[in-house]
């Protein structure tokens, strides 16, 4: 009898926790959590959005990347997006030494080496895969607002920025942080303020299209943004979901 009570005492809390967890998951589904892929239907792409399906130069969709894309399936763009992000995180490794080659490598070279060196590499690897999977995507480069204030006091301060990806799902643009693995809904691409204290710099097909082929190019762009900053940053309250 004591043994039975002991087993019940161990199993009951676990059962209660499991029920609560399932209840929480159901609540997320009811709220439209992005992992409930069946709720989302793809709409026809507007003509101005179709442009962002094509990669060129640095983000060209090569046979190597096409072969990798065939490993990822999904009933709609949203499901393929989430699976693609997880795929990159599962099959690529990180080596900070490659930060010294930031913006220099092509997406094909990233897929050949399967080693990424920072936010720019993660963004390039994922934005190219998104397009290979039929998901329109745009690169966004930002400057950190705290760095901007520091730079305006001391122009020797090292630049700090980030790379985001805009993706077109269903009938509107959404925001993805490919480095920290967040998906942001209710995104407004007209705003200059971005999550985590980041401020809009430039948007394009990839870094080379934006005019960035080296850290020196990035430094020049970010410093120019800092010098023209008008103190209008406001942290956006976008709902965010971990991927």
Q: In a structure prediction context, what are the per-residue pLDDT tens digits for the chain, which is 243 residues long? A: 444 343 434 343 333 333 333 333 333 333 345 668 888 999 999 999 999 999 889 999 999 999 999 999 999 999 999 999 999 999 999 988 888 888 999 999 999 999 999 899 999 999 999 999 999 999 999 999 999 999 999 999 999 999 999 999 999 999 999 999 999 999 999 999 999 999 999 999 999 999 999 999 999 999 999 999 999 999 999 999 998
Long-range contact list for 143-150, CB < 8 A, 24+ apart? 143/198, 143/199, 143/201, 143/222, 143/225, 143/226, 144/197, 144/198, 144/199, 145/197, 145/198, 145/199, 145/233, 146/197, 147/222, 147/226, 148/199, 148/225, 148/226, 148/229
Domains of the chain, by residue range, sit at: 43-242
CATH class of 43-242: alpha beta
């Amino acid at each position: 009898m004591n043994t039975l009570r002991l087993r019940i005492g161990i199993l009951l809390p676990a059962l209660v926790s499991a029920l609560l967890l399932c209840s929480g998951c159901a609540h997320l589904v009811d709220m439209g959590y992005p992992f409930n892929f069946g709720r989302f239907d793809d709409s026809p792409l507007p003509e101005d959005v179709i442009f962002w399906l094509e990669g060129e130069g640095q983000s060209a969709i090569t046979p190597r990347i096409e072969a990798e894309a065939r490993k990822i399936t999904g009933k709609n763009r949203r499901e393929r997006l989430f699976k693609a992000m997880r795929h990159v995180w599962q099959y690529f490794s990180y080596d900070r030494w490659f930060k010294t080659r930031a913006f220099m490598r092509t997406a094909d070279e990233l897929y050949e080496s399967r080693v990424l060196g920072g936010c720019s590499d993660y963004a390039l690897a994922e934005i190219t895969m998104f397009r290979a999977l039929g998901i329109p995507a745009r690169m966004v480069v930002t400057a950190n607002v705290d760095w901007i204030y520091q730079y305006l006091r001391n122009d020797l301060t090292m630049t700090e920025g980030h790379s985001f990806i805009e993706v077109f799902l269903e009938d509107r643009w959404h925001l993805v942080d490919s480095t920290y693995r967040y998906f942001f809904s209710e995104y407004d691409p007209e705003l200059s303020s971005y999550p985590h204290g980041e401020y809009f710099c430039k948007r394009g097909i990839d870094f080379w299209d934006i005019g960035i082929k080296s850290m020196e190019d990035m430094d020049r762009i970010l410093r120019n943004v800092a010098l023209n900053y008008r103190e209008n940053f406001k942290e956006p309250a976008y709902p965010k979901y971990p991927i």
